[in-house]
Copies of this chain bind each other. A is one copy, B any other.
């Protein structure tokens, strides 16, 4: 069997309260896909990924983490296996080279953003389709109730995407069958597995949020507590309770005031910076998830 090894990267930034990921044009000119590179001669995989990103996209990578290795035999071409090691990278959004663009995460996965009235999208459009697909199957009904159930579990992004795929509710399913969709599909599609990998990445970020200080790799050097909160909310896809959020941040000792203040047309807020020393003090950090 023919074998190919690639590195794929989900490069994430948060701007204007929306998480975005970097996508590049594709030979087929239709769908975008994740940036991808062949494995170079660097000593470690992490270094190879960083090098590839900095070369291809010219971005200053703050954080890199291995996501998952995908290696299914391609649905379309048998007798050929692409093993792709997917990485998650966090950056600050900047100007891009031509050929690349930022996609809104919630344009790809609209059912993941619960800051807005996504509830109705799920309840009135998605769930009926899913339930029809499930029929009497206990197994399917169970998966639906866990993935889309109440309380909504933000981390299960991949579970939800896979349900959508199996229920033919995303264009990728139809593309994999080399068909045109004949029933409604949701969210903007991407090339091959790109959207699935992006879903994996979002789930990972949401999971880490609560016990690792990942947000700070997406923010500027200094920020107000509200900006911090908005960034977390964008990633988690939920609105948080301001007072409780602050209580937590303070208790965790994650940030320190700079003394300066920023004003955006309200009472000016103090500017804070991340105290990177906490990594050396405490073990479990991060800006939890619930405290709605």
Is A156's CB under 8 angstroms from B44's CB? Answer: no
B contact residues around A153 at 8 Å (CB): 283-284
Query: A66 on the interface (CB 8 Å rule)?
Result: yes
Query: A149 on the interface (CB 8 Å rule)?
Result: yes
With contacts A44-B72, A68-B66, A72-B45 known, is A156 near B283, CB below 8 A? Answer: yes
Query: A145 on the interface (CB 8 Å rule)?
Result: yes
B contact residues around A73 at 8 Å (CB): 41, 43-44
Is A69's CB under 8 angstroms from B41's CB? Answer: no
Residues from 64 to 82 in A contacting B, C-beta threshold 8 Å: 66, 68-73, 81
Alpha-carbon gap, A81 to B44, bound state (A)? 10
Residues from 141 to 169 in A contacting B, C-beta threshold 8 Å: 141-143, 145-146, 149, 151, 153, 156
- Most B-side CB within 10 Å, residue of A138, A279, A280: A280
Alpha-carbon gap, A73 to B153, bound state (A)? 39
B contact residues around A280 at 8 Å (CB): 138-139, 141-143, 145-146
Among B66, B72, B282, B284, contact of A43 (Cβ-Cβ < 8 Å): B72
Is A71's CB under 8 angstroms from B44's CB? Answer: yes
Query: A179 on the interface (CB 8 Å rule)?
Result: no
Query: A185 on the interface (CB 8 Å rule)?
Result: no
Residues from 210 to 246 in A contacting B, C-beta threshold 8 Å: none
Is A283's CB under 8 angstroms from B5's CB? Answer: no
B contact residues around A282 at 8 Å (CB): 146
With contacts A44-B72, A145-B280, A149-B283 known, is A39 near B139, CB below 8 A? Answer: no
Known: A3-B5, A43-B73. 5 other contacts (CB 8 A): A39-B81, A145-B281, A146-B279, A146-B283, A156-B283
Q: Which 8 A-B pairs have the closest CB atoms?
A: A142-B280, A45-B71, A153-B283, A69-B69, A44-B72, A43-B73, A146-B283, A69-B85
15 A-B pairs with CB atoms under 8 Å apart are: A5-B5, A39-B81, A44-B71, A44-B72, A45-B70, A71-B85, A83-B85, A139-B280, A141-B280, A142-B279, A143-B280, A145-B280, A146-B279, A146-B281, A151-B283
